[in-house]
Amino acid sequence: MMSKLNGLVRIAPVQSSKKPHCAVGQSTIRRPTVCMTRDSDGLSATEEEIMHATHRALVNSGYAELSISLISDELDKAKSTIYHYYDSKDALLLRFLRFTVNRFEETINTSIGDHPKEDLNHIITTLLPCDLTEEKRQLHSILVTLSPQALEQEVFREQFTEIDARLSTIIEKTVRRGIDANVFRAADPAHVAEYILATIKGTMYSRLTTNREAATVAAKSSLSSYIDSHLIS
Amino acid sequence: MMSKLNGLVRIAPVQSSKKPHCAVGQSTIRRPTVCMTRDSDGLSATEEEIMHATHRALVNSGYAELSISLISDELDKAKSTIYHYYDSKDALLLRFLRFTVNRFEETINTSIGDHPKEDLNHIITTLLPCDLTEEKRQLHSILVTLSPQALEQEVFREQFTEIDARLSTIIEKTVRRGIDANVFRAADPAHVAEYILATIKGTMYSRLTTNREAATVAAKSSLSSYIDSHLIS
DNA sequence: TATATGTGATTGAACGTTTAGTCAACATCA
DNA sequence: TGATGTTGACTAAACGTTCAATCACATATA
């Protein structure tokens, strides 16, 4: 295939082997060979700016309207700069999901103490706060927005699998500690953890996609009463 | 605003008042004035074909790649025919969500009997069947795919609110009947219903977007054991 | 019965716009 | 000097949408 350019003929590049990039799933993320100042996520300053610009674009316009141009509008750099760091829109979005998942997990890992009952309550309150701050609403909304990608793209699915596995493990450990300390009744910690997690996720999801505020409160209070009367010995 | 067309100048039509259409939210759905053969959804034969084509396109390609061209590829009609029935892509998608919600609700309303415990179990099994048929997987997947639209578009949000309200009511009635018949312990049926619904939805959602098959089984069995030991007197 | 008229359904070809992605050139700095 | 970061101009393809023209078929007129 050839395309006209100012009267010249140009060969369409099948694979631009000049640029350094590493495979991530089926798409690729470029990674400069020389070391740069990187944050905890392994991102250079510009890459992090791109992530935040993507966040803003996604929150402001939703997935359907999300485009590279829109992201660069939110960015203090040109559109083509994005392609210097990511091979494609898909590669960018996958990296962005990773970035978002990391930030989501940061909000949870805080304080796993020695009081199983309070710890469990803390986990629930963290994921289902009484009043949702704008920051948290955005974080959760992005996960809802990107989750349909997990239906077909395995690389996305893996990210969501990881979130749930991590959350489940945290809850399971807390339940197990409670059983060992005779605070909770004997039960299968793994089963109970999946059960609590499913309830939390269902409530979280409904909260964002429906107008049934009372349902959130009801589900949350029923979850607490389940823990009080069913789990606590 | 004016646009060139074959050397002529044409006035951009502000509103084509010739065509009959009725307002639905912020967008519009055209509705022919003359009566046609319509199905239970109030759709003509062609409209129903369009709905099924949209279903196929969405399942095959996902929301991100969904276009009018793609829908017409699945349809035995030209692309422009779609615009004879729907004013815009948004109007089409909104109508399609309504169509899907109706079909989803049809799968539930069957058999509300006189045995609260079995009825409750039947509801759970209907929404979380042991082996998910391809048909149900597609139906649930479409809801997951369209749900991010509910984050920002109120008309979509209302549809999802209605699904949950309907499901919640069904569960609540079953729980209330169980309490009245002394099969279930005294509890707030509304609270319990929201709790059960949240767990079901969370499990359903995780099942579609993660690879944690065991989690689905665990959550489901914990839900059953909750009902057995907590709800049943 | 044959023909004209009207109306909705359907079409293909176009419209202007936006998209993801490319590239040669320039900037910066070690 | 050479590698990296950055840019704006550019492309082909795809997008949603419009529209004049045609088709199929019912009813009215002769």
What pLDDT score does B184 carry?
93
**Are residues B131 and B222 both part of a single domain?**
yes
**Are residues A28 and A95 both part of a single domain?**
yes
Residue A219 lies in a domain: yes
pLDDT tens for B183-218 read 999 999 999 999 999 999 999 999 999 999 999 999
Integer distance in angstroms from CA B201 to C1' D2?
Answer: 58
Residue type, B62: G
Does the beta-carbon distance from A203 to B203 stay under 8 Å?
Answer: no
Query: Contact, B49 vs B76, CB < 8 A?
Result: yes
Nearest of B188, B221, B174, B225 to residue A221 by alpha carbon: B188
- Which of B51, B70, B102 marks a domain boundary? B102
Residue B2 lies in a domain: no
pLDDT tens for B51-92 read 999 999 999 999 999 999 999 999 999 999 999 999 999 999
**Are residues B139 and B189 both part of a single domain?**
yes
Distance from CA of A88 to the nearest CA of B (A): 15
Residue type, B72: S
Residue A126 lies in a domain: yes
* Alpha helices, H only, chain A: 45-65, 68-73, 79-85, 89-106, 116-127, 134-146, 154-180, 189-209, 213-226
**Are residues B212 and B118 both part of a single domain?**
yes
Does the pLDDT value for residue B154 go beyond 60?
yes
**Are residues A97 and A139 both part of a single domain?**
no
What pLDDT score does A38 carry?
67
**Are residues B73 and B122 both part of a single domain?**
no
**Are residues B34 and B128 both part of a single domain?**
no
Nearest of A54, A167, A48, A190 to residue A108 by alpha carbon: A167
Does the beta-carbon distance from A206 to B165 stay under 8 Å?
Answer: no
Residue A211 lies in a domain: yes
Integer distance in angstroms from CA A69 to C1' C20?
Answer: 9
CATH of the domain at B121: 1.10.357.10
- Which of A77, A102, A127 marks a domain boundary? A102
Phi, psi of A4 (to 5 degrees): -75, 140
What pLDDT score does A111 carry?
65
Does the beta-carbon distance from A219 to B197 stay under 8 Å?
Answer: yes
CB nearest B201 (choices: A168, A206, A211): A206
What pLDDT score does A173 carry?
94
Does the beta-carbon distance from A164 to B208 stay under 8 Å?
Answer: no
Q: What percent of chain B has pLDDT over 90?
A: 73
CATH of the domain at B33: 1.10.10.60
CB < 8 Å & 24+ apart, contacts of B66-72:
B68/B92
What pLDDT score does B29 carry?
63
What pLDDT score does A109 carry?
76
Nucleotides of D under 7 A from a protein CB: 3-20
What pLDDT score does A112 carry?
72
The first and second tokens of residue B119, run together, are 């009825």
Best A158, A199, A233 residue to mutate vs chain B (most B CBs within 10 Å): A199
Q: What is the DSSP letter of B220?
A: H
CA dihedral A175, A181, A183, A189 (to 10 degrees): 20
Does the pLDDT value for residue B41 go beyond 70?
yes
The full DSSP string for A133-198 is -HHHHHHHHHHHHHGGGGGT-HHHHHHHHHHHHHHHHHHHHHHHHHHHTTSB-S--HHHHHHHHHH
Does the beta-carbon distance from A161 to B202 stay under 8 Å?
Answer: no
Nearest of B144, B152, B6, B45 to residue B90 by alpha carbon: B152
What pLDDT score does B111 carry?
65
Residue A60 lies in a domain: yes
C-alpha span between B85 and B44 (Å, rounded): 10
For residue A191, what are the domain limits? 113-231
pLDDT band with cut points at 50, 70 and 90 for residue A22: very low
Best B89, B191, B228 residue to mutate vs chain A (most A CBs within 10 Å): B191
Strand B21-24 with B8-11, pairing: unpaired
Mean pLDDT over each residue of chain B, to the nearest integer: 85
pLDDT band with cut points at 50, 70 and 90 for residue A164: very high
What pLDDT score does B113 carry?
76
The first and second tokens of residue A125, run together, are 């309150």
pLDDT tens for B110-122 read 667 789 999 999 9
CA dihedral B108, B109, B110, B116 (to 10 degrees): 90
**3-class SS of residue B188:** coil
What pLDDT score does A102 carry?
94
> CA-nearest residue of chain A to B166?
A212
pLDDT band with cut points at 50, 70 and 90 for residue B30: low
Strand A27-30 with B2-5, pairing: unpaired
Residue type, B15: Q
Q: Which of residues 42-71 of A touch strand C (CB under 7 A)?
A: 65-70
Query: Contact, B127 vs B200, CB < 8 A?
Result: yes
Does the beta-carbon distance from A195 to B206 stay under 8 Å?
Answer: no
Residue A108 lies in a domain: no
List, in sequence order, every residue forming a beta bridge with A10; answer none if it has no partner: A3
> CA-nearest residue of chain A to B192?
A222
Is strand C within 7 Å of residue B49 (CB)? no
Q: What mean pLDDT is predicted for residues A72-84?
A: 96
pLDDT tens for A88-130 read 999 999 999 999 999 999 888 766 778 899 999 999 999 999 9
**Are residues A179 and A210 both part of a single domain?**
yes
Residue A11 lies in a domain: no
pLDDT band with cut points at 50, 70 and 90 for residue A2: very low
Does the pLDDT value for residue B23 go beyond 80?
no
What pLDDT score does B14 carry?
31
Contacts of A85 (CB under 8 A, 6+ apart): A29, A30, A44, A46, A47, A50, A92
The first and second tokens of residue A109, run together, are 């890992």
CB nearest B199 (choices: A198, A221, A230): A198
pLDDT band with cut points at 50, 70 and 90 for residue B146: very high
> CA-nearest residue of chain B to A198?
B202
Domains in chain B: how many in total? 2
Nucleotides of C under 7 A from a protein CB: 7-16, 18-24
**Are residues A70 and A141 both part of a single domain?**
no
What pLDDT score does B9 carry?
29
Residues of B in contact with A197 (CB under 8 A): 202, 206, 215, 219
**Are residues B200 and B159 both part of a single domain?**
yes
Taking one residue from A and the other from B, the number of pairs with CB-CB distance under 8 angstroms is 160
**Are residues B160 and B223 both part of a single domain?**
yes
**Are residues A92 and A117 both part of a single domain?**
no
Q: What mean pLDDT is predicted for residues B126-141?
A: 96
